[in-house]
Structure 1
Amino acid sequence: MTEAELPIEPATADDWDGVSALLAGLFHHTVESDVHESERLVFEPDRSLVVHDDGRTVAHAAAFTRDLTVPGAVVPAAHVTMVGVAPTHRRRRLLTRLMQRQLREAGDAGREPVAVLWASEGRIYPRFGYGLASQRLVLDVATREVGLPEAAGGRLRTGPPATFQAELAGLYDQLRPDRPGWSSRPGRWWEHLLGEFPSHRDSATERRAVLYEGAGGVEGYAMWRTRSEWIPGGPTGEVRVEEVVAATPDSYRELWRFLLSIDLTRKVTYPFASLDEPLQHLVAEPRHLVPRVADALWVRLLDVAAALAARRYRTPVDVVIEVTDPLLPENTGRWRLTGDRYAASCVRTGDPADLICDVRDLGAVYLGGPELTALADAGRVREMVPGTVARTAAAFGWDRAPASLEVF
């Protein structure tokens, strides 16, 4: 059967069952009715592409309509998700065709200058122009070894997260514009994210929330689960932290004091710590945080000029960048980027290039994460005018390392 016999089609709401079954098989989990219905809440048929074969869904790619915080700004971003091809239909260019069509349609719509995703495998998406834009620390904390942060005062309240949804959402939205890598949670996203499903617990308890209240009201929250474990010498339970959001140093410190001192536990895990996570500077023995670096967000510039003009720059920048983009050739060419912390512009130019790079390299530095100097040292960015890499790298940095609190 040729690929021409398997057209790519826009999805409808009726495709959700087939899409869900395809993804369950690809990611090795069972379709459960409660999870299935929760995921339906955020499924956007008009942003999904499907391939059918004899009535069965055999390939799919989708995007969520959400905003993304970038250095100094918030931009609309296609949150690419649910990408996969049935094992019976590999090697037919279905994935390539899906990704190319998705990029083209998002770019033609002009509504989003960037796309962002989490990659199941890091070697898949660079060939579609995505660059690794942020990393995270996975913490595996021995709580008796690290030492607790100093007490900060304030008041803590605990309970089921759903009972605090308005307060959680309010604080998250208050802080999000200053946190590169955070995504908006519009519509029914909070309902979806706070859904409680036994299959997601992995032998742990239901999700719990703790709020920190200071002089300004709710200034921080955390969500976690616990898993009970005992050995002959006593309890060795685990705290699985899912999200920590803090507006002040006191709230951050007191939330972590709480999480690191829950009775009958000896271990805390946290998979979404940022590379500049303050906890590393609060505990007495940071080695026992046992941090491990993992990849996080991958970014693809759909419109180079609009994307580079949308964000802000830590130091003044005036540079001509020659970009290659085989999949979206309208991005190919020379672009003059000028900007600072307050404004930016990016326009096509005939001036000689100061730097030459591929579009994926711009995606990699877009959130202020990897240094442009590292990409140059790896041979991925060419410096045509001496000193340009260092100056431009300083401009693309930002006050906080990019981070993301959820896999979408």
Structure 2
Amino acid sequence: MTDAEPPIETGKTPADWDGVADLLNVVFHDVRNDEARELNRATYEPARSLLVRDRGVVVAHAGAFTRELTVPGAVLSAGHVTQVGVAPTHRRRGLLTRLMRKQLQDIRAGGESIAVLWASESAIYPRFGYGMAAQRLTMEIDTRSVGLPPGGEPRLRMGEAGPLHEALVGVYDRLRAGRPGWSSRDARWWRRLLDDPPAQRHGAAARHAVLYEDADGVAGYALYRARNHWDNWSPRGQVQVDEVAAGTPEAYAQLWRFLLTIDLTRTTSYQNGTVDEPLQHLVADPRALHTQVLDGLWVRVVDVGAALAARRYATPVDVVLEVTDPLLGENAGRWRLTGDGTGAACARTADPADLSCGIADLGAVFLGGPGLSALAAAGRVRELRPGAVAAAGPAFGWHRAPASIEVF
């Protein structure tokens, strides 16, 4: 750091959130909302907040949340990176690069082997070693033509989301361990998720929860809200689905039958589906779902040995990887990965490499989403031993696509 470079500070108290929030309002062009600001203060972690100030004003920031992330066959502590921004007056000065490098070093030093984020712009974070690990399926559904198979007698109960909190937590926690891409939620996170200030509804009604119950109790839920709209002849309301969590095929089907048949509505939108979303195979007319695939979670491997040893593998694997990492030199070099569905080990080796890749490529395959073969076809993973991609590729997959269920 030169004398001209302002220092990177660590947040000291929750009061630092006000300066951070002011910066984020400017960077993301948001109107100040005091109710939302106080709600977000509860999850702000000063000790993980990296700030740059100019004459006392926060002009750059990168934060992180301490949460767990489900990965194939395991649940890991992961730095949930968030609230990243640089003031328009301080761009092109290297502040973002300095913050990202410092944050990755801190995450590694704190014992977390991976970081995860949502990208405001998808071109930014590959520069810092993040790979697109989970895509999301968005749907703008024409409910009048989508076509649903007949179902049995629905066993549904609905109400405002807050009072049904305990039931929602029970379902989510049961399912989370098996769904790569889902993050842990403590009481603060459930409050942030379920609190429903009118200023954040953007003209829609209050959020509701609907529960599906079977003989064993609550087996699934959906969170949604509706927007009222009429033209000159008929109602054209919209259902906006926030989240669907179902532990059985029957629960899943009944919840979607409910969401797609609400009176006075004509469309249903869902922004956080998975690329293997079962609804695509449940409806009569998949084209009426009007799907689009976008990026969701981005993963950064900050400790190659620990991260690759922590997850599980769909098929047995024994491969030597030559890894490059310009920001964290500790990750660079050759690593032998051995593992299967019961355990794994990853350690440095002097053996010849089978595959070479950048650190972002390891992040891309870490949750079992994009395959090694796709990255190899794109020229990002290079095969050094003939047949290595075909041999190792299936191991990095998983039986369910990773999900991007929640923006943080």
Output the CA distance in 2 between the equivalents of 1:106 and 1:55: 26
Output the CA distance in 1 between the equivalents of 2:399 and 2:264: 38
Deviates more, 1:146-155 or 1:214-223: 146-155
Aligned residue in 2 for 1:60: 61
Map 1:29-178; keep pairs closer than 5 Å: 29-109=30-110, 111-178=111-178
- For residues 44-65 of structure 1, give each alpha carbon's deviation from its aligned partner in whole angstroms, at most 9, with x where no partner exists: 0001100111111100000000
Q: How far 1:200 sits from its partner (Å)?
A: 1.5
SS at match of 1:182: coil
SS at match of 2:245: strand
Q: How far 1:3 sits from its partner (Å)?
A: 7.1
Output the CA distance in 2 between the equivalents of 1:222 and 1:402: 19
Output the CA distance in 2 between the equivalents of 1:31 and 1:211: 34
Aligned residue in 2 for 1:19: 20
Output the CA distance in 2 between the equivalents of 1:264 and 1:226: 10
Aligned residue in 2 for 1:342: 342
Q: Kindly tell me: are residues 230 and 394 of structure 1, through their superposed partners in 2, closer, same or farther at Cα, counting changes over 3 Å?
A: same
Q: How far 1:150 sits from its partner (Å)?
A: 2.6
Output the CA distance in 1 between the equivalents of 2:404 and 2:150: 27
Q: Does the 8 A contact of 1:153 with 1:250 survive in 2? A: no
Output the CA distance in 2 between the equivalents of 1:5 and 1:258: 57
Q: Does the 8 A contact of 1:3 with 1:92 survive in 2? A: no
Output the CA distance in 2 between the equivalents of 1:31 and 1:182: 29
Which amino acid counterpart does residue 33 of structure 2 have in structure 1?
E
SS at match of 2:21: helix
Output the CA distance in 1 between the equivalents of 2:263 and 2:120: 35
Output the CA distance in 1 between the equivalents of 2:184 and 2:82: 15
Which amino acid counterpart does residue 399 of structure 1 have in structure 2?
H
Output the CA distance in 2 between the equivalents of 1:187 and 1:264: 35
Q: How far 1:114 sits from its partner (Å)?
A: 0.2
Which amino acid counterpart does residue 392 of structure 2 have in structure 1?
T
Output the CA distance in 2 between the equivalents of 1:98 and 1:399: 36
How many percent identity over aligned positions? Answer: 61
Q: TM-score, normalised by structure 2?
A: 0.98
Aligned residue in 2 for 1:390: 390
Q: How far 1:227 sits from its partner (Å)?
A: 0.6
Output the CA distance in 1 between the equivalents of 2:123 and 2:149: 39
Q: Does the 8 A contact of 1:154 with 1:214 survive in 2? A: no
Q: How far 1:154 sits from its partner (Å)?
A: 4.4
CA-based RMSD:
1.0
- Number of corresponding residues: 406
Deviates more, 1:153-162 or 1:35-44: 153-162
Output the CA distance in 1 between the equivalents of 2:47 and 2:295: 29
Q: How far 1:5 sits from its partner (Å)?
A: 4.2
Output the CA distance in 2 between the equivalents of 1:153 and 1:72: 35
Aligned residue in 2 for 1:365: 365
> Where does structure 2 lack aligned partners over 5 or more consecutive residues?
none
Output the CA distance in 2 between the equivalents of 1:148 and 1:202: 30
Output the CA distance in 2 between the equivalents of 1:182 and 1:93: 33
Which amino acid counterpart does residue 75 of structure 1 have in structure 2?
L
